[in-house]
Amino acid sequence: MKKKDVIIVGAGPVGLFAVHQLGIKGLNAVVIDNLDKIGGQCIELYPDKPIYDIPGVPECTGKELTDKLLKQIKPFKTEFFLNERVDEVRQDNKVEWTVKTNKGNEFLSPNIIIAGGVGSFEPRKLPIKEAEKFEGKYLFYSVKNKDDFKGKNITVFGGGDSALDWALELSKFSKINLIHRRNEFRGAPHTLSELKKLEKEGKVLIKTPCQLDAIEGEENIKSITLKFDDGKVEKINTDIVLSFFGLTMKLGPIAEWGLNMEKKTIQVNSANFQTNKKGIFAVGDICSYPGKLKLILSGFHEVALASVECFKRARPNEKYRFEFTTASKTIQERLGKK
């Protein structure tokens, strides 16, 4: 079990700036995120879109903001646990919380800052009942090791880049059916034209406009039924189903930690962003208080205040001193400037 001053749940912009505000106060932290990358909504939903309302930064994309925040917190050498969802929060003694992830990692700390946005990003599941039964064995929402898919009959669902890229890649050593709900694809045109070429050669089968209606099979998948827009149905044989419908945000386990919640947000005291549980804080999109705005700049303010309360809990025998970064030698040392 790792012991830290603060455990941060969520590596979105607000979780990242929390590292900074804690770091300059001399507190160490770990950051845990279910995504495979750092940056939350900025990196997952709009990496290339410009943001115009970060104070002092007239224009930067979601990716640029994430990179800048990472640079700003570099001096603190914070450890990130990605691809891990925080599942459990429990109190083992009077002052400390234990946090457990779905990978079994445990952390102990007097403070938890929940910067969980709208919840953890998870793949959008296929909307039919049988899907669950085959998930992880014959039906997948991502490709971890493409060698697992050699020499199979694979059906790929989706019209975006992930669907097209994997259809093309796996067609090198497997038979591919590509299914999309409309005739137009969103993915890169050149990938699509490669696939159309393979379709002419009979190596790839493209079916549109249709959607999945059923999956047949007992132990493993035998076939799937597609329903076309005109009502026609068609059964095609397949061993493996790959589905690429992007990610959704699922509040998930956060709802079970005994926190006061309202409409998927956590109620906080806006003086220190503490929840109804002492030592558990909520900041960024996931917190609510009168006047809350779901803006990145609001989240930055929220972590500044929360970090003060975290300091008091992590260093009960020290006095908190308000300091400016321009004037404080201690802060400058922590930032590696002196």
Partner 1 sequence: MPKITYIDNEGNSKTIDVENGLSVMEGAIQNNIPGIDADCGGSMACATCHVYVEEKWLNKLPKAEDAEVDMIDMAFEPKKNSRLSCQLIVSDELNGLTVTTPSKQS
Work out how close the CB of 123 gets to ligand FAD at its nearest, in angstroms, rounded to a whole number. 12
Whichever of 33 and 239 has its CB closer to ligand FAD, that residue is 33
Contact 242, 249 (CB under 8 A): no
How many Cβ atoms are within 10 Å of 137's Cβ, its own excluded?
Answer: 11
Contact 298, 315 (CB under 8 A): no
Work out how close the CB of 96 gets to ligand FAD at its nearest, in angstroms, rounded to a whole number. 19
What string marks each residue from 78 to 117 as x (binds partner 1 by CB under 8 A) or -?
A: ----------------------------------------
The answer to the question of residue 285 lying near ligand FAD (CB under 6 A) is yes
What string marks each residue from 99 to 118 as x (binds ligand FAD by CB under 6 A) or -?
A: ----------------xxxx
Which candidate, 81, 121, 137, places its Cα nearest to that of 104? 81
What string marks each residue from 246 to 275 as x (binds ligand FAD by CB under 6 A) or -?
A: ------xxx---------------------
Which candidate, 3, 76, 79, places its Cα nearest to that of 38? 79
Whichever of 51 and 335 has its CB closer to partner 1, that residue is 51
Name the segment binding partner 1 (CB under 8 A); options: 93-101, 157-165, 198-206, 296-304.
157-165
Residue given tokens 């308000």 in the structure block: 322
Determine how β-strand 86-91 pairs with β-strand 97-101: antiparallel
Which candidate, 162, 81, 158, 90, places its Cα nearest to that of 120? 81
Whichever of 18 and 179 has its CB closer to ligand FAD, that residue is 18
- Pull the structure tokens for residue 325: 């970064």
The answer to the question of residue 229 lying near partner 1 (CB under 8 A) is yes
Spatial separation of the C-alpha atoms in residues 221 and 154, rounded to whole Å: 11
Name the segment binding partner 1 (CB under 8 A); options: 106-114, 139-147, 197-205, 246-254.
246-254
Contact 285, 300 (CB under 8 A): no
The interface with ligand FAD within residues 47-66 (CB under 6 A) comprises 51, 53
Which candidate, 286, 290, 229, 299, places its Cα nearest to that of 253? 286
Work out how close the CB of 94 gets to partner 1 at its nearest, in angstroms, rounded to a whole number. 36
Whichever of 95 and 297 has its CB closer to partner 1, that residue is 297
Question: Which option in partner 1, ligand FAD, none does residue 13 bind, with CB closer than 5 to 8 A by kind?
Answer: ligand FAD
Q: Give the contacts of 113 (CB within 8 A, at least 6 positions apart).
A: 6, 7, 8, 9, 15, 18, 29, 281, 282, 283, 303, 306, 310
How many Cβ atoms are within 10 Å of 226's Cβ, its own excluded?
Answer: 20
Spatial separation of the C-alpha atoms in residues 311 and 82, rounded to whole Å: 25
Name the segment binding partner 1 (CB under 8 A); options: 16-24, 26-34, 63-71, 243-251.
243-251
- Pull the structure tokens for residue 275: 């929840």
Longest Cα–Cα distance in the chain: 74
What string marks each residue from 298 to 337 as x (binds ligand FAD by CB under 6 A) or -?
A: -x--------------------------------------
The interface with partner 1 within residues 28-57 (CB under 8 A) comprises 41, 45-46
Name the segment binding ligand FAD (CB under 6 A); options: 10-18, 20-28, 145-153, 221-229.
10-18
Inter-helix orientation angle 189-200/161-170, to 10°: 40
Q: Which of 7, 29, 66, 119 binds ligand FAD (CB under 6 A)?
A: 119
Q: Give the contacts of 50 (CB within 8 A, at least 6 positions apart).
A: 59, 60, 61
Please report, as ranges, the residues that interact with ligand FAD according to CB under 6 A: 9-15, 32-35, 40-42, 45-46, 51, 53, 85-86, 115-121, 252-254, 284-285, 294-297, 299
Please report, as ranges, the residues that interact with partner 1 according to CB under 8 A: 41, 45-46, 118-119, 124, 127, 158-160, 180-182, 184, 186, 211, 229, 245-246, 248-250, 294
